[in-house]
Structure 1
């Protein structure tokens, strides 16, 4: 997600996003063959998943919320930028990425639009930026010249850290002295404890198990900055939005309802459903991490996108001279037109059909 702050590294890190956008434009013809339909006329929607986890759209399929599409797993993704690149180059139909990266991608020419929030921070699920109890690090200024471990450059972890440093009063010259080190999430805690990095970005199971082992505490969290907030979105290519409008509408309504199911269903029932889905799909996955599940992390009912969730990153990029003022307007980067929660009513979460009811 973030990058070191030497202009060269910072630009290189976020240039990765531009590289994705460029690839999207130049490699479109290199994607696999276009979407197909099933024998009964449903659109086959290809996607990349995450091993050992269940997404809201996979849950929607299991709950029977889709009536016009069939999901087809094309493998697992390793990061938001990789996922959205696969979507932009027609290897899959949609991808999920951090909103700041989506802004960069669209600014660079990627032909995509956001249709639904995909992840965020709520009172139970967030990313913490941890230091050792004996590190002596107590403030943002203590991070000057230090190393922050993140899972990728130019995305959520970097943007959050840079924004926090800015809010804490550091100058851009000082922020550029904070170095970002890319580490796989499974190795980040160990690197922190061994002193190879000074701050570790830890979320979900990695955060909870690290806290349980003791000796660490969070210096800041993404929730500290913006409270409960949606940070990422699902995006489709513009051509797919135009040519397969009914498929997109079905994906959005079903996934929105599945998100609401996750927001309102008791924890143990959610975990049991996840375990059932993972076992049924037969990918030889370990379900052991499900015991650490706390919440889906999307705080907004039905994952409706809010303008501020894009505007904050547009403003950030403009402030850092990485996006020209006025080049992008937040409302042009996303749409809620297919989300039944956008107008305050939605179908019940108990089945694929039924009359709309008032959201509460």
Structure 2
């Protein structure tokens, strides 16, 4: 006959063992590198609305001043996820970094006027031809704005090699124009709105409206090795971004969306209320990425056209 105490001990041990599979595992922690633009809205929403945590991934956004710094930061594991522009990502892959696309940020739209060529007050720049010989700041050499702007120059019959491009982070654009260090900047909201409202510059062209609709402006990436080691976390990140895109697309959530953006980009209320927010692009397709690859091959920014299918995690 089993002693009562032993039986109780056995029952308690059995109950404890049965409870173990029900115990929630600690979420996978991942730092996400972003730059100060609204195209990261879905990351901010998913973080603040709990879409990541409820799926078992704890994503911590971290501000990175220049977009081209994101792939090296991912490679060094100082961040695990990040949002380089498609061109920066493709250059990183071309250079040998084994990174993959999980999902996307914003998308191009002919209705969006939140990106433009902003010229210094008094510079006289009005057309693409006026940019020849001028010093123009871009927030990352080889990044989305730089590559897209050079494609626009070509469409206007201007040789981009005759334009002097200098790298300058978004927050510097207004000061560099005011000080006369740059003749113009290729910039985006909220910085474009602030420059124009301050009188330091004016919009010479909403050049991005010539781009095809639906191209990714940012791709959310990770090392392939990290994805392979954390498949559930990678899927959780994708699902969190998809849910955040649905939240962003609901007009009832407009005020909340702007509140979440303002927390991470630190905008004054009047600026935050006026900035345009790009349509979200939670799924990055091979054809959409191909447009960027073709532009970069033409601009001699890639050694060869990559195998795009191998760079996208389904």
Give the TM-score band, short-chain normalised. Answer: 0.7 to 0.9
Query: Relative to 1, partners in 2 of residues 1:207 and 1:121: Cα closer, same or farther, differing over 3 Å?
Result: farther
Does the residue aligned with 2:96 lie in a helix, a strand or coil?
coil
Q: State the partner residue of 1:169.
A: 157
Q: C-alpha separation between the residues in 2 aligned to 1:298 and 1:178?
A: 31
Q: C-alpha separation between the residues in 1 aligned to 2:259 and 2:146?
A: 34
Query: Relative to 1, partners in 2 of residues 1:230 and 1:126: Cα closer, same or farther, differing over 3 Å?
Result: farther
- Tell me by how many angstroms 1:75 deviates: 4.2
- Tell me by how many angstroms 1:103 deviates: 0.8
Q: State the partner residue of 2:64.
A: 77
Q: State the partner residue of 2:310.
A: 332
Structure with bigger RCO (C-alpha 8 Å, 6+ apart): 2
- Tell me by how many angstroms 1:184 deviates: 3.3
Of 244, 249, 261, the residue aligned with 1:263 is: 249
Query: Relative to 1, partners in 2 of residues 1:223 and 1:330: Cα closer, same or farther, differing over 3 Å?
Result: farther
Query: Relative to 1, partners in 2 of residues 1:269 and 1:318: Cα closer, same or farther, differing over 3 Å?
Result: closer
- Tell me by how many angstroms 1:264 deviates: 1.7
Query: Relative to 1, partners in 2 of residues 1:116 and 1:90: Cα closer, same or farther, differing over 3 Å?
Result: same
- Tell me by how many angstroms 1:216 deviates: 1.4
- Aligned CA-pair RMSD: 3.0
Q: C-alpha separation between the residues in 1 aligned to 2:113 and 2:287?
A: 20
- Tell me by how many angstroms 1:205 deviates: 1.7
More displaced 10-residue stretch of structure 1: 104-113 or 202-211: 202-211
Does the residue aligned with 2:123 lie in a helix, a strand or coil?
coil
Choose 1 or 2 for highest CA Rg.
Answer: 2
Query: Relative to 1, partners in 2 of residues 1:85 and 1:243: Cα closer, same or farther, differing over 3 Å?
Result: same
Q: State the partner residue of 1:6.
A: none
**Unpaired stretches in structure 2, ≥5 consecutive residues:** 1-22
* Pair 1:148 & 2:144 matched: no
Q: Is the 8 A contact 1:115 1:252 kept in 2?
A: yes
Alignment coverage as a number of residue pairs: 286
Q: C-alpha separation between the residues in 2 aligned to 1:133 and 1:227?
A: 31
Does the residue aligned with 1:119 lie in a helix, a strand or coil?
coil
* Pair 1:160 & 2:148 matched: yes
With normalisation by structure 2, the TM-score equals: 0.79
Q: C-alpha separation between the residues in 2 aligned to 1:144 and 1:242?
A: 47
Query: Relative to 1, partners in 2 of residues 1:49 and 1:219: Cα closer, same or farther, differing over 3 Å?
Result: closer
Q: Tell me which protein shows more helix as a share of its residues.
A: 2
Q: C-alpha separation between the residues in 2 aligned to 1:90 and 1:45?
A: 10
CA offset digits 1:110-166 (Å, max 9, x no partner) = 011011112334434631112256433333222221111122222122212211111
- Tell me by how many angstroms 1:178 deviates: 0.7
Q: C-alpha separation between the residues in 2 aligned to 1:287 and 1:110?
A: 34
